[in-house]
Amino acid sequence: MPDTQALVNDFLNKLKKRKIEGSQATARQTAELLRSVISQQRMPYTNQAGALIDAVKAVGEQLIAANPVELAVGNIVRRVLHIIREEDLSLTTAAIGGLNLSAVSDDENDDDRDGDSTLSAAAVAAAARSTLRPPSLQTLLEDTPVSAAVPQTSSSGGDSEGKSKSADKSSRSRKLKHDVIEAVNELIQDIVTCHEQIAEQAVEHIHQNEVILTLGSSRTVLEFLFAAKEKKRSFRVFVAEGAPRYQGHLLAKELVARGLQTTLITDSAVFAMISRVNMLCPLYPHNPEVLLNELRSPSELLDFGEFSDCMDFGSGSGSPLLHVVNPAFDYVPPKLVSLFITDTGGHNPSYMYRLIADYYSADDLVVQRRATAGN
């Protein structure tokens, strides 16, 4: 199996050089890399979830810094961290529930059972709050095998108890890693098929004789529009060409090949056509005040010879008289966004906070490793 750090370095280079394009491809490869990190992570005797979280955060910090503009990287890192926390809480709850069940005898009355049930719920809640905290000294001593904590005696009881406790810890460690990897596999499958889930909603959002404007090329948008046509919807698509890379040309060809009425326009013609448009589908809507736009290479607009001719060699400083600004994305003000269509359905902007709470943990909104004792 390839070395984890080698995989991380290779992926970092791809992100820095922009060799991975599209949120879906970036999200899938990020999830696959984090799955490898988790799979090869050595689990400590205690606080296994904390070890996995630290390992994912260590890699996640590097990935986010390599390409801060690609939001899919940070979102997948946070999603995997949330998965680890959920699976650890599930195992902890199950373990506490098993202990409470075994402590109740068959001849206890109903009142006693109700009291134990209340106590169990409180214990579960306490475990949920403390499951990811660093272990206390008492916990560490209790988790230490008896054979290491006390001198060896002739009795086999202590040795048997220590082996049993060690085996339980080892089993739980393997169970946690296994469950996390299985959940990440499900996440990867969701990423691969998310465009299908989104396309199924097309008929709910595209109505007869609508005019739709798109920018750039997106497989999700292509499948969404084609699904609406399959449901006998009649509509027209305006595709901005997206200079200088002209990704809109690719989308227009795909749409025509699938039998959709398509009009390819120059980027400057958007303002002339916008009054006829019912829906606007930008490639990546985001707030430039929060995250700067990605500025692509000037070579997409001017070759090196043309650019070098614009240098001010007469002043001796060699500073350019011509500056080339080549932003990759457009910006849509939040007030103009009326609906987010996701693989879980269409949601109003006011509902997005609930989705964020369901899929991410508040502790991971800022991906940063815990400071060590020496720092």
pLDDT in tens, 352-365: 888 888 888 888 88
Q: What is the pLDDT, as a whole number, of residue 52?
A: 94
| E strand segments, the chain | 211-215, 236-240, 261-265, 279-281, 340-342, 345-347
Q: Cβ of 255: how many Cβ atoms within 10 Å?
A: 22
Using alpha carbons only, give the angle 300, 306, 312 rounded to the nearest 5 degrees.
120
Strand partners, 222: none
Measure the CA–CA gap between 23 and 93, rounded to whole angstroms: 35
Pick out the chain residues at pLDDT < 50. 103-108, 110-155, 284-291, 373-375
At residue 64, the pLDDT reads 92
pLDDT at 161: 57
The answer to whether 150 touches 158, Cβ cutoff 8 Å, is: yes
Q: What are the structural domains, with CATH classification, of the chain?
A: 197-364 (3.40.50.10470)
Torsions phi, psi for 342 (to 5 deg): -120, 180
What single-letter amino acid sits at 52? L
Closest CA to 322 of 312, 331, 313: 312
Residue range 223-240, pLDDT digits in tens: 999 999 998 888 999 999
Q: State residue 100's pLDDT score.
A: 60
